[in-house]
């Protein structure tokens, strides 16, 4: 398992910082892939933070060299082209937690721990994917603990690629079934536990948590000056970027850009 950054200080030269997550890129969705590739080639950002679930699934970095994996190599090359002209950071999501050191090296990306503190000027921002804070999603949290453990990952990565892809499909079907049951119970997507979010912010001495995963893009106030800025998922109807710009006075301004 690759260790990530837990604290990051934005250099003064970074004026524009972009945050995206939950693109869920896969070979069957050429449109989202194209919107993303266009964005990656054209964003004026000095630094880009991809906070998890860039891919619908990532079963190991050997995808980059395996025959018949054009989708993975195309995406890796989009990342690589961006990594040459901006600072690129990736965090694991619940679907692409096996993104590893080969892909990172390929695109000159740096892995971020979940959570990770980003300091811009005097402001401390907490970055997370969001899944670990959805405390009412008990079955998922048990699954997460299992698949994030080194023994599970070593055993999984030692299997042949086609077998890993089969297992990923089974896990996906299982998760879709559990999601359908959540919707049937009127629960919808998992939601971040607000008390846990406040606690995480206080522990990190940060004021705002930027995260994805919950598919509820908006600013959510947590009281006492604390807040969550939730990133959008990307699909045929929606693709947003959260952009942090530093003003001449040294302040941070946030805006949400819609790419569709
Ligand atoms: Mn997610």
| Residue range 143-181, pLDDT digits in tens | 999 999 999 999 999 999 999 999 999 999 988 898 898
Q: Please give the residue that has the higher pLDDT: either 190 or 44.
A: 44
What is the distance in A from the centroid of ligand 1 to the CA of 181?
Answer: 18
What's the average model confidence in pLDDT over 91-103?
97
What's the average model confidence in pLDDT over 189-217?
96
What is the distance in A from the centroid of ligand 1 to the CA of 192?
Answer: 12
What is the distance in A from the centroid of ligand 1 to the CA of 54?
Answer: 9
What is the distance in A from the centroid of ligand 1 to the CA of 127?
Answer: 14
In 80-113, which positions are buried (b, 16+ CB within 10 angstroms) versus exposed (e)?
bebbeebbbbbbbbbbbbbbbeebbebbebebbb
Number of domains in the chain: 1
pLDDT of 188 over the 90 cut:
no
Q: What is the mean pLDDT of the chain?
A: 95
What is the distance in A from the centroid of ligand 1 to the CA of 9?
Answer: 25
What is the distance in A from the centroid of ligand 1 to the CA of 26?
Answer: 14
What is the distance in A from the centroid of ligand 1 to the CA of 251?
Answer: 30
What's the average model confidence in pLDDT over 246-260?
94
Q: How far apart are the first and last CA of the chain?
A: 36
Whole-angstrom Cα Rg for the chain:
18
What is the distance in A from the centroid of ligand 1 to the CA of 52?
Answer: 7
What is the distance in A from the centroid of ligand 1 to the CA of 248?
Answer: 35
What is the distance in A from the centroid of ligand 1 to the CA of 253?
Answer: 26
CATH of residue 26: 3.60.21.10
What is the distance in A from the centroid of ligand 1 to the CA of 193?
Answer: 15
Partnered with residue 220 across adjacent β-strands are 228
Per the structure, the complete domain to which residue 38 belongs is given by 5-258
In whole angstroms, how far apart are CA 209 and each of 91, 168, 222? 14, 30, 10
What is the distance in A from the centroid of ligand 1 to the CA of 196?
Answer: 17
Question: Residues of the chain with pLDDT > 90: what percent?
Answer: 88
What is the distance in A from the centroid of ligand 1 to the CA of 125?
Answer: 20
Neighbours of ion ligand 1 (CB under 5 A): 53, 93-94, 213
Closest CA to 50 of 216, 234, 206: 234
Residue 2: the pLDDT is 65
What is the distance in A from the centroid of ligand 1 to the CA of 131?
Answer: 6
Output the pTM of the full model: 0.96
Residue 1: the pLDDT is 60
């Amino acid at each position: 398992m690759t260790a990530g950054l837990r604290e990051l200080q934005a250099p003064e030269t970074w004026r524009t910082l972009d945050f995206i997550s939950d693109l869920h890129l896969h070979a069957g969705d050429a449109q989202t892939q194209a919107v993303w590739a266009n964005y990656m080639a054209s964003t004026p950002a000095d630094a880009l933070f991809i906070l998890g679930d860039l891919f619908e699934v990532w079963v190991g970095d050997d995808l980059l060299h395996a025959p018949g994996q054009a989708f993975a190599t195309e995406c890796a090359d989009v990342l690589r082209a961006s990594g040459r002209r901006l600072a690129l950071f990736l965090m694991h999501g619940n679907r692409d937690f096996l993104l590893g050191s080969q892909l990172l090296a390929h695109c000159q990306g740096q892995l971020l721990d979940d959570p990770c503190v980003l300091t811009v000027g005097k402001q401390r921002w907490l970055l997370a994917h969001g899944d670990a804070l959805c405390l009412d999603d008990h079955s998922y949290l048990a699954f997460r603990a299992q698949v994030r453990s080194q023994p599970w990952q070593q055993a999984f990565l030692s299997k042949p690629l086609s077998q890993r892809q089969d297992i990923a499909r089974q896990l996906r079907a299982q998760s879709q079934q559990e999601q359908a049951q959540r919707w049937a119970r009127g629960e919808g997507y998992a939601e971040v536990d607000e008390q846990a979010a406040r606690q995480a912010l206080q522990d990190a001495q940060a004021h705002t948590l930027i995260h994805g995963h919950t598919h509820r893009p908006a600013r959510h106030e947590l009281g006492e000056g604390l807040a969550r800025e939730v990133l959008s998922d990307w699909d045929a109807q929606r693709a947003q970027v959260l952009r942090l710009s530093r003003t001449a006075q040294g302040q941070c301004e946030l805006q949400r850009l819609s790419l569709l």
